[in-house]
Chain A
Amino acid sequence: MLSITRRIVCVVMLASLSVAAFAAASAEAEEITLYSGRGESLVDPLIRRFESESGIRVRVRYAGTAELAVLLAEEGERTPADLFWGQDAGALGSLAAAGLLAELPTQLVDGIPDIYVSTTAQWVATSGRARVLAYSPERVSAEEQPASVFDLTKPRYRSRVGWAPTNGSFQAFVTAMRVAYGEELTLQWLRDMRANDTQVYRNNTALVEAIAAGEIDFTITNNYYLLRFLANDPDYPVEQRFFEDRDIGNLVNVASVGVLRSSNRFDAAVRFVEFLLSPEAQRYFTDTVNEYPVIAEVPPNAALESFQRLLLASPRIDLDSLEDLQGTLELLRQSGAL
Chain B
Amino acid sequence: MLLPLAYLVIRAAEADPAQLASLIFRTRNLVLLHNTVLLTIGVVAATTVLAVPLAWLVVRTDIPARRAITLLSVLPLSVPGYVMAFALLGLGGNYGFMARVFNISLPRPSGYWGALVALSLYCFPYVFLNVRASLSGLDASLEESARSMGHGPARVVLRVILPHLRPALFSGWLIVAIYVLGDFGAIALMRYEVFSYAIYSQYAGAFDRVYAAWLSLMLLALALIPVVMEGRLLARARFARTGTGVARRIRRTALGVWRLPALLFVALAFAASIGLPFGMLGYWLSLSSPWAELPRVARAFLFSAGAAAPAAMAAVFIAVPLAYLRVRYPSALSRATERIVYVGYALPPLALALAMVFFSLRAARPLYQSLPLLVAAYVISFLALATGPIRAALLQAPRRLEEAARSLGLSPLAAFVRTVVPLLRRGMLASMVLVFVITMKELPITFLLAPTGYTTLSVAVFSRTSEALLAEAAPYAAAIVLFSSLFVGLLLRYEGRGE
Contact = CB atoms under 8 A, between A and B. Distances in A.
Interface of A: 1, 3-4, 7-8, 11-12, 14-16, 18-19, 22-23, 26, 33, 37-42, 59-64, 66-71, 73-75, 78, 80, 87, 90-91, 94, 165-166, 168, 171, 199-202, 204-206, 209-210, 212-215, 224-225, 228-229, 232, 236-237, 325-326, 328-330, 332-333, 336, 338
Given A204-B468, A228-B468, A333-B28, A214 B105 contact: yes
A38 B95 contact: no
Nearest to A199: B191
A166 B188 contact: yes
Contacts of A236: 95
Contacts of A75: 357, 361
Contact of B471 (A61, A202, A232, A338): A232
Contacts of A33: 452
28 contacts: A8-B313, A11-B306, A11-B309, A15-B305, A15-B306, A15-B307, A15-B309, A16-B371, A19-B306, A19-B454, A22-B453, A61-B453, A62-B460, A63-B448, A67-B203, A68-B447, A80-B368, A87-B466, A90-B207, A166-B201, A200-B191, A202-B191, A205-B470, A213-B108, A214-B95, A325-B205, A329-B201, A336-B28
A39 B464 contact: yes
B142 interface: no
A201 B92 CA distance: 16
A121 B95 CA distance: 45
B444 interface: yes
Given A8-B309, A212-B93, A213-B95, A64 B490 contact: no
Contact of B452 (A42, A61, A214): A61
Interface stretch (B53-61, B192-200, B228-236, B330-338): B192-200
Given A16-B371, A62-B459, A80-B452, A74 B95 contact: no
A304 B383 CA distance: 50
A19 B451 contact: yes
Given A61-B447, A213-B96, A333-B26, 10 more contacts: A19-B451, A62-B455, A67-B204, A70-B207, A78-B361, A91-B207, A166-B188, A166-B197, A200-B193, A338-B197
A66 B203 contact: yes
A71 B354 contact: yes
A213 B94 contact: yes
B420 to A, nearest CB: 13
A272 B162 CA distance: 64
Using C-beta atoms within 8 Å of the partner chain, give the interface range for chain B.
35 or more
B135 to A, nearest CB: 22
B206 A325 contact: yes
The prevalent SS among residues of A at the interface is: helix
A4 B108 contact: no
Contacts of A4: 490-491, 494
Interface string B1-34: 0000000000000000000001100101000000
Contacts of A69: 207
A224 B313 CA distance: 44
B145 interface: no
A64 B358 contact: no
B254 interface: no
B42 interface: no
The prevalent SS among residues of B at the interface is: helix
Nearest to B362: A78
A204 to B, nearest CB: 7
Contacts of B354: 70-71, 74
Contacts of B267: none
B71 interface: no
Nearest to B467: A39
Interface string B113-137: 0000000000000000000000000
Nearest to A66: B204
A224 B469 CA distance: 11
- Give the 7 A-B residue pairs with the shortest CB-CB distance, closest first: A15-B306, A213-B93, A214-B94, A63-B447, A66-B204, A212-B95, A39-B463
B469 A16 contact: no
Nearest to B436: A8
B448 A60 contact: no
A325 to B, nearest CB: 5
A329 B452 contact: no
A204 B306 CA distance: 34
Nearest to B198: A338
Nearest to A40: B463
Contact of B206 (A40, A200, A204, A329): A329
A64 B448 CA distance: 10
Contact of B303 (A15, A42, A212): A15
Contact of B306 (A3, A16, A62, A94): A16
A143 to B, nearest CB: 23
A19 B369 CA distance: 13
Nearest to B197: A166
B428 to A, nearest CB: 8
Nearest to A44: B296
Given A22-B453, A200-B193, A228 B466 contact: no
Contacts of A225: 468
A165 B350 CA distance: 20
A74 B209 contact: yes
Contacts of A11: 305-306, 309
